[in-house]
Structure 1
Amino acid sequence: MTAGELVLSWGAATHEGLRRRVNEDGFLAGDGVFLVADGMGGHDAGEVASALALEALSPLRDVTRVDPDVVVGLVTAAQARIRGIDTGPGGRAAGTTLTGAVVAYQDDVPYWLFVNVGDSRTYLLSGGTLDQVSVDHSEVQQLVDAGLLTEEEARRHPRRNVVTRALGADETPAPDFRYVPVVLDDRLLVCSDGLTVELTDERITQVLLDHADPQQAAARLVDEAIAAGGRDNITVVVVDVTGGNDADRTVTSPRGAWEPDEDTVPSGASAPGRDGSPRAQEDA
């Protein structure tokens, strides 16, 4: 596939879930850039943090040749803006995850340049198989990597929402990067952890296979995550590599009811201990 042959169609859906008053997720989609950010922080600062991150990364839509150095520069700018958010006296510092893919070219051949900070996820569905391209930057993932937790145990662990990297942390986080060739008929899924905490990869795969239209697939995933509990904000972007001329589309799902939330928090912030008991704020 060459640059002149690449056509992408996409759909997106987002919802604050059933336990949140504010949707702190955000997404950027179109012009070869597909990113999701999941904000965190007191005084609605998570909503501001995710919006600032995506705004800082939006110039990627106008860059002719994207490479990791360009992305790192924009991530650094986002970090500075998020660190400047005022969360009020005693407020938890603002932060956000960032994950997704940007179309980048090598010798006029399109590649996905995947980028990830935090525990929001990017998947690639190819040949009927769903692979998680990103690696979670979270405490439970470290326990899984060490062989101390299974994947299923990690899904239920009381510290599953504690991330080890986030934009807004004391030091600018190093994003993970990965190049993968763009292949005709591949499907990309970019999502916040509000989806993956509710649905297994097996169920996500089935929904993606059952719904050929990317907008219908995105909306269905959000609907099923809400039906499964909707404990967090949920954002889904589905991107197809097609040979047609489908137009870019987006939709925002309607708001739901509010109950106490289950937010993503940075490592070191106030969060339940590994036994589920409360833990005080750690020193910086």
Structure 2
Amino acid sequence: MPQVTTSTRSVRVQDATIELSWAGVTDTGRRREVNQDAVLTSFPLFVVADGMGGHIGGEIASASTVERLRAMVDDGTVTPKAIEKALVRAVKDILSHPEATDEGTGTTLTGLFLDTSQNPPHWVTLNIGDSRVYLLRDGDLVQITTDHSVVQELVAAGRLSPEEAESHPYGNVITRAVGPTESVKPDYVRLDVVSGDRFVICSDGLTKELTDYGIRHFLDENPDPAHAVEAMLDAALENGGRDNVTIVVLDVRRVAD
């Protein structure tokens, strides 16, 4: 088990202080030889990328995407426009490795960032693929992002129930990714900053092994983000660990003046 610690950050806004605490982990799992997931927890951006492709193509795709986003954060500007420019650069990085890039190479990307450029500040989630952002608010766990997958399209069309989707043979087939032949514009969702919110950002290596009920259980049982991340990873591995597993838990507390 990788060493997991909780990081904290206080952000001063006009009439309050936003206190954030978070932890993240990525693990190869029990069936794969290589970890093609990548994670970035660098305030104000928190993202997970799940690479795919033969040889080391998926590893290159996810790592290139995260490194381009890390450079964007270091430059001090995190906006949808800056994210999309970073993803264009990531695609060029992926294409610069033709020996490891085939038709199926690419990566999912999901996460969120805190936008303090407006008053009041707000969260912006971003998503390409089938990694997910969940929000636990007032006791309810909700999936904020919408999967870009064949199965989700069948569910949306009423041709498949959510229960049938869980075991569908096309469950791993996604319809959008950051890759050589794909659009690099994510879907965005804007959310208010609410004290007590808990976010989970994860690759499908977690959701293959844990139901939404299971995710909520481990959040309820573990107030500290590092402990919650460790508990979910342990459960995912115990349930089979069929894929790489990456998890970020981010807690929000707003303190008014």
What pairs with 1:222-233 in structure 2 (closer than 5 Å)?
222-233=233-244
Alpha-carbon separation, structure 2, partners of 1:35 and 1:67: 14
TM-score (norm 2): 0.88
TM-score (norm 1): 0.80
Q: 1:110 offset after TM fit, Å?
A: 2.1
Tell me the equivalent position of 1:256: none
Alpha-carbon separation, structure 2, partners of 1:197 and 1:212: 23
Alpha-carbon separation, structure 2, partners of 1:104 and 1:8: 14
Alpha-carbon separation, structure 1, partners of 2:26 and 2:94: 22
Deviations 1:195-245 (A, max 9, x none): 01111111111111110000010111111111111111000000011369x
Structure 1 unpaired stretches of 5+: 245-284
Alpha-carbon separation, structure 2, partners of 1:239 and 1:142: 29
- Report the CA distance shift for 1:7/1:188 in structure 2 as closer, same or farther (over 3 A): same
Alpha-carbon separation, structure 2, partners of 1:189 and 1:174: 22
Q: 1:33 offset after TM fit, Å?
A: 1.0
Tell me the equivalent position of 1:61: 73
Structure 2 unpaired stretches of 5+: 1-11
Alpha-carbon separation, structure 1, partners of 2:219 and 2:97: 37
What pairs with 1:103-142 in structure 2 (closer than 5 Å)?
103-142=114-153
3-state SS of paired residue (2:82): helix
3-state SS of paired residue (1:194): helix
Aligned 8 A contact 2:13 2:116 in 1: no
Residue type matched to 2:46 in 1? F
Alpha-carbon separation, structure 2, partners of 1:219 and 1:225: 10
2:157 to 124, 146, 149: 146
2:173 to 150, 162, 175: 162
Alpha-carbon separation, structure 2, partners of 1:203 and 1:87: 40
Aligned 8 A contact 2:176 2:182 in 1: no
Alpha-carbon separation, structure 2, partners of 1:127 and 1:216: 20
Tell me the equivalent position of 1:74: 86
3-state SS of paired residue (1:160): coil
Q: 1:173 offset after TM fit, Å?
A: 3.4
3-state SS of paired residue (2:223): coil
3-state SS of paired residue (2:235): helix
What's the Cα RMSD here?
Answer: 1.9
Q: 1:83 offset after TM fit, Å?
A: 2.8
- Report the CA distance shift for 1:129/1:195 in structure 2 as closer, same or farther (over 3 A): same
Aligned 8 A contact 1:126 1:186 in 2: yes
Tell me the equivalent position of 1:97: 108
Alpha-carbon separation, structure 1, partners of 2:238 and 2:116: 40
Aligned 8 A contact 1:82 1:167 in 2: no
Aligned-pair identity in percent equals 44
2:19 to 2, 7, 13: 7
3-state SS of paired residue (2:64): helix
Residue type matched to 1:6 in 2? I
Aligned 8 A contact 1:100 1:114 in 2: yes
1:239 partnered with 2:250: yes
